[in-house]
Amino acid sequence: MRIIPRVLAVVLMLTAMFLLIKHVRGMEEAETIARSQLVTYYFAILGLGAVTAFVFCVSFLPLLGEFLGNFVFTPNERIERNPHAEALSKIAAGDFAGAVEEYRAVYDDNQDDLLAATEIARIYCEKLNDPESAMAFLVEAHSLSDRSPEDDAFLSNRLVDVLWLHMRDGIRARAILIKIAEDMPETREAANALHRLQEIDRIMNEQYFEPLAPTVAAEPAVDAGPLQGAEEPHTQNTPEV
């Protein structure tokens, strides 16, 4: 029920109460008073008053409390809806392809929303097992020329995540990190890039120069020949009889 019908309902009930009270007073001033009719009018006035009070409390007190709360504690500002709400609901329902579409719509509307870009790449890699699509999307997002160096470095690191963690392409991951360090010297981004570069180099070297498992050399077979000192078997000639 909207505010105008509520106001009209309260006004009508107050008007009815006023007319009933006026009528009862006229009856009291008359010489002959019908007691039963007078009692009925009194109960009608009390019931109408109770209904009016109930409608007023239900309809207007919450509005009054909300107004005072907004006035005293917080400004009555409009709460904006989370632009990622639809994508989050798709993820909760297990529709990861639909979540990518929702995040992509948000990103196309606001290409500064790096959280949406990060979530697209993450879902491609972790939920859809499609790191190639994640890489293609991040390369496209990184191609915008009006990004700040910090945003470029952020997207480059997300691309390194895809290449190294999900595709094990250390060559391209190293090239991106080296470029960050060269383009942004003496910055936090460069320090982080160098740290990741050292970690990737360490793992790649451990995999490339993995030590061979120790093996036991087989002993050559020794041909002892006839045993020395051993008597050759001989046959004794039995004399002919």
pLDDT tens per residue across span 178-198: 999 999 999 999 999 999 999
% of the chain surpassing 90 pLDDT:
49
Q: Residue 12's domain spans which residues?
A: 3-72
- Residue 102 and residue 201 share a domain: yes
Helix (H), strand (E), coil (C) string for 11-24? HHHHHHHHHHHHHH
- Residue 104 and residue 185 share a domain: yes
Output DSSP code: residue 32: S
Task: Look at residues 91, 100, 1, 109 and name the one whose alpha carbon lies nearest to residue 55.
Answer: 1
- Residue 196 and residue 91 share a domain: yes
pTM for the model: 0.57
d(CA 8, CA 13): 9
Q: How many distinct structural domains can be found in the chain?
A: 2
Helix axes 35-72, 3-29, angle to 10 degrees: 150
| Cβ pair 163, 172 in contact under 8 A | yes
Indicate the residue among 49, 72, 95 that finishes a domain: 72
Q: Is the Cα dihedral 41, 43, 46, 49 positive or negative? A: negative
Site of tokens 């499609």? 130
Question: In angstroms, how far is the first alpha carbon of the chain from the final one?
Answer: 144
- Residue 94 and residue 63 share a domain: no
- Residue 173 and residue 109 share a domain: yes
% of the chain surpassing 70 pLDDT:
68
- Residue 99 and residue 159 share a domain: yes
We report the CATH number of the domain holding residue 107 as 1.25.40.10
- pLDDT tens for 35-84 read 676 677 677 777 777 777 777 676 666 666 666 666 566 555 565 778 99
Is 164 among the domain residues? yes
d(CA 96, CA 84): 14
| pLDDT for 22 | 73
- Amino acid found at 106: V
- pLDDT tens for 71-130 read 566 555 565 778 999 999 999 999 999 999 999 999 999 999 999 999 999 999 999 999
Indicate the residue among 11, 43, 72 that finishes a domain: 72
**Helix (H) / strand (E) containing 231:** none
Q: Where are the alpha helices (DSSP H) in 147-212?
A: 149-160, 170-183, 188-208
- Tell me the C-alpha to C-alpha distance, in Å, between residue 33 and each of 45, 47, 88: 18, 22, 73
- What is the number of other CB atoms lying within 10 angstroms of the CB of residue 173? 23
- Residue 151 and residue 198 share a domain: yes
- Residue 124 and residue 61 share a domain: no
| pLDDT for 231 | 45
- Residue 30 and residue 123 share a domain: no
| Cβ pair 156, 179 in contact under 8 A | yes
| pLDDT for 31 | 56
- Residue 142 and residue 28 share a domain: no
Output DSSP code: residue 101: H
Helix axes 149-160, 170-183, angle to 10 degrees: 160
| Cβ pair 52, 10 in contact under 8 A | yes
